[in-house]
Structure 1
């Protein structure tokens, strides 16, 4: 949930739309529970164990297609405050009165739903078999994600809980779509500070007023706009201390940003404390009797006998006296508003302060030593164990699992070759063959790589990355697709099978620079041959017959006459018996015109 009061709508104008390649080679903390809930809501009744199915495909896409190093974070034991909030939320949506049931004590946490906990454990086992690191939070997963981000262990967080900013996150990706067609909705704390002027403690103060995961209601009568206006009156270092004081009943005076009327009146001693006399006719300083005799300095006209001008509708005097009075009234309204907000906070007896603030400012959400840091490392997928796991839970065929896991294996292979070149094979059987062509997908260029298998034709066990990428999250996948129907898997006829995958161009260049250089040399050679092959045709165009063709093409009506011209010719033939029309037909069918030329003339 996060901060209440449509908090995401407040941050929406400062979101960035990042492209397909934004997360490449970056570490990203993923709130695993958020993914599980999101996927169950999407295809709960359309797939077997959707939490495993979609975590599997999304992890592969995140790692291979987007080039991300994901770090999965799992929720720990919720705090007692969070347990009470979950009970209140259940009561609100179910209509059950809590007084009729046993209410859990505030010091005792409530364990999560057993079924959901079992789903989380299955997903943890799955991502560990895929070689992804998993970290366990003490409490909320978004709290550990934010701590990893603030301490520099990851570059961004993937979560929909807005209170991750309150825990210290610097960059949050709220809407993540693995199909690659839609941009990422990325929120940076720097943009929020520059746009709204709010920092981390300001956001914590807003959550205390409008509600959060530990207090659903907040302060009665205070909305998001009022809370935003109120916290802006204080600096980041002072805002939480002032809220503590106000909550304890110590309603202090207005902050320095709200100047009192007395201080404003003392700015210039020359200004009178009372409003000057103004003319009721023109509205300017002075009496109406004086202005009847001659025009005032504000209404000075060419003819003094005309007197002052009548003030228009909605007139506002801009003299220093009136301006000072308006400022004093505005400051008094501001002080009265501030006092009413403080009174509402002081009257709220359930206003949580220190407990929630300590939870948000805590820097020990993972339980790892500050000196050593978290244990984050990526390893190779355990293929055979993964096949057995998915065979048991999803009833998937081993060839189908190998087909879907190949994009991850090829990405790992290219990364290993880029860092420490060694003689290795993908799946122990496929080797890097050559670069076939350059392909554009989602507006970005990829190399289409040919992977060769020279130990017999077993291409039916592994597919191409292209076919896997088109399947997205797996929501539209068919579990029983025949691999032999995959157009990217082919047999050369000599017992050597191969397949084609889409790979990142920079990664392929780092892993096999000589292959990339050879590919571009071949492309340049093909281009030169194409230009040479076009030379005789160009000379042929300059032949006399082509010159005649060019000259005849300019007079289109001579060959493709309009109906009016044809009717005129028929009348002429009928009158003089000449053979002009027949000659025109012979000219139109002249062999000097090529087929393409006649087609262009026809449609012009």
Structure 2
């Protein structure tokens, strides 16, 4: 979707790989249609309503794990050009002859199919219960996302539609993988301008030449490489005017000739360059072979010498005449290429399409009141309607209420910690149910660092806020044995749950360290200090006295070093030899005493072999 001709491959060398903290505390505009059409690739096996499941988990991860403030944008009524292109794409994929394609009536817009519109309505209903802002674009969703980004309402756009750059987006995130250590691709318009020298109108010109969502054909015979080379020959202010001039059949060359990118130009008064002087066939330098035989070549022997040096393979003379001749040949080749491109453009009817250009340059793609600098933006985030969310997902997805509340807990704890950090909390307990107890440990999962926070349930405030109640008493038995019915874990990150022990009932959540530090700075400092003390004690115990080191290692079952092994073995052998000598000496004494005793010989024999 977007600009044709492998446009993303052209931009890929200028992508930045950002880590998840890049989105923390930033506003991002999300193309909702892009998420919905991804369910076929994101869900490997069949699940009930994959669009709802994908939207549910991605919204939770985007809000709680990445710490972003998402703004969702839905498509409006497609333009008639988009409808015609959609019909052409359908019949092209069906293998129908192009001459038999039906043509949509001019000015008539064709809505998307009913199944897709139903998915959009269900996702919007889910997001509104989340408390997320949802905007409806007049036409394309990526156009409104780009406008929000350009005007400063959001910091980035999440979409895989490359048309966002043409609508004026400044930062586009192509894809996000919540459970991957790999960073996501982020494209900044400033990097594209610095790397390729392309600005917004340059990109519009490329889309007109290679094709886009509103005109699949483009200009026949012009690919992405030729289109890039062509638009780089002109400035941003003149590129679209030149396309109009060429399309209307006017003189294809601008005043002074077309610009050759990456090479010097011939001067205007050099239309008839001088004849090239003779060059030596041996060394290749100016001057004939006969002249060099009489007097040595100054280029081969500056200090004086006899004979010319044989020119190597690939030799190029660097004299002024040869440089001008090469420039002239390069300019001639560029003129021939440029003429062919202009001829291909001139053969196209109604090129360039002014309706497509006006669509890309339009600055009114949706209803946005006020500017962010004036504080008049209509974008705001509300508290989630937990009970209504649970009822909706029980009805649509057939999930257990306890499972839904468990998955919602990270989002609710993120909202609570943000309010605590801003000192705007109305209740000192998490949603009127749980209070901060302690920090359990530092957890690293999929390369992301987090604190495991323990929340204790308060007895006096249970059920004080029914709309934000996390766990019903009737669901307590189900929570411990909860099983995730989903077959795809790619969108799930948080591991939360309710635990019951002798101390009471509590829940565990994974929270970002800086978020917890902002809400409870004293608790985080205390936890980090205790952790540092434990580490120092462990190091001191490992580097303790050498006298009892081997005993400690032996008691822990750790393998001894080779020196300690032989020392202990030698001591053990000596001890064994001493015991053997003592035993033999006592045995001899016993035999001697036995032999001199007045007992009969038979008795003494039995005593000796006892």
CA RMSD of aligned residues (A): 4.0
Q: How does 1:28-177 map to 2 (within 5 A)?
A: 28-43=28-43, 45-97=45-97, 100=100, 102-177=102-177
Distance 1:19 1:143 in 2: 26
1:213 CA drift (Å): 0.8
1:454 CA drift (Å): 3.4
Distance 1:77 1:442 in 2: 40
Q: How does 1:210-225 map to 2 (within 5 A)?
A: 210-225=210-225
1:393 aligns to 2:396 (yes or no): yes
Residue by residue over 1:151-206, the C-alpha shift from the partner in whole angstroms, topping out at 9 and shown as x without a partner, is 01001010000110000001011021121522111111111111111111111111
Distance 1:450 1:210 in 2: 56
Aligned to 2:2: 2
DSSP-derived class of the 1:51 partner: helix
1:422 aligned residue (383, 403, 426): 426
Q: Does structure 1 conserve the Cα–Cα contact (< 8 Å) formed by 2:138 and 2:365?
A: yes
Residue by residue over 1:134-158, the C-alpha shift from the partner in whole angstroms, topping out at 9 and shown as x without a partner, is 0000000000000000001001010
1:497 aligns to 2:497 (yes or no): no
Aligned to 2:436: 432
Residue by residue over 1:232-252, the C-alpha shift from the partner in whole angstroms, topping out at 9 and shown as x without a partner, is 111111111111111111133
DSSP-derived class of the 2:449 partner: strand
Q: Does structure 1 conserve the Cα–Cα contact (< 8 Å) formed by 2:61 and 2:491?
A: no
Aligned to 1:597: none
Aligned to 1:599: none
Q: Does structure 2 conserve the Cα–Cα contact (< 8 Å) formed by 1:299 and 1:309?
A: yes
Q: Does structure 2 conserve the Cα–Cα contact (< 8 Å) formed by 1:406 and 1:462?
A: no
Distance 1:15 1:427 in 2: 41
DSSP-derived class of the 1:392 partner: helix
1:45 CA drift (Å): 4.9
TM-score normalised by structure 1 residue count: 0.82
Distance 1:319 1:521 in 2: 73
Distance 2:418 2:538 in 1: 36
Q: Does structure 1 conserve the Cα–Cα contact (< 8 Å) formed by 2:245 and 2:251?
A: yes
2:266 aligned residue (252, 264, 267): 264
Distance 1:478 1:10 in 2: 29
Residue by residue over 1:410-436, the C-alpha shift from the partner in whole angstroms, topping out at 9 and shown as x without a partner, is 111111122213324334322221222
DSSP-derived class of the 2:166 partner: coil
1:337 CA drift (Å): 1.6
DSSP-derived class of the 1:46 partner: coil
Distance 1:262 1:82 in 2: 43
1:520 CA drift (Å): 4.1
Q: Does structure 2 conserve the Cα–Cα contact (< 8 Å) formed by 1:490 and 1:497?
A: yes
**Unaligned residue ranges in structure 2 (runs of 5+):** 463-470, 554-559, 579-610
Cα distance, 1:15–1:510 mapped onto 2, change above 3 Å: same
1:409 CA drift (Å): 0.8
Q: Does structure 2 conserve the Cα–Cα contact (< 8 Å) formed by 1:61 and 1:473?
A: no
Paired residues, what number? 556
Distance 2:533 2:110 in 1: 70
Distance 1:221 1:544 in 2: 82
1:525 CA drift (Å): 6.3
1:286 aligns to 2:283 (yes or no): no
Q: Which deviates further from its counterpart, 122-131 or 246-255?
A: 246-255
Distance 1:358 1:545 in 2: 80
Distance 1:471 1:65 in 2: 19
Distance 1:544 1:157 in 2: 62
1:111 CA drift (Å): 0.5
Q: Does structure 2 conserve the Cα–Cα contact (< 8 Å) formed by 1:57 and 1:472?
A: no
Q: How does 1:77-476 map to 2 (within 5 A)?
A: 77-97=77-97, 100=100, 102-254=102-254, 258=258, 264=266, 273-300=274-301, 307-369=307-369, 374-419=377-422, 420-455=424-459, 461=475, 475-476=488-489
DSSP-derived class of the 1:264 partner: coil
**Unaligned residue ranges in structure 1 (runs of 5+):** 480-485, 562-579, 588-604
Larger Rg computed on CA atoms = 2
Cα distance, 1:159–1:472 mapped onto 2, change above 3 Å: farther
Residue by residue over 1:107-138, the C-alpha shift from the partner in whole angstroms, topping out at 9 and shown as x without a partner, is 11111111000011000001111111100000
Q: Does structure 2 conserve the Cα–Cα contact (< 8 Å) formed by 1:82 and 1:213?
A: yes
1:510 aligns to 2:512 (yes or no): no
Cα distance, 1:493–1:336 mapped onto 2, change above 3 Å: same
Distance 1:397 1:277 in 2: 91
Q: Does structure 1 conserve the Cα–Cα contact (< 8 Å) formed by 2:496 and 2:509?
A: no
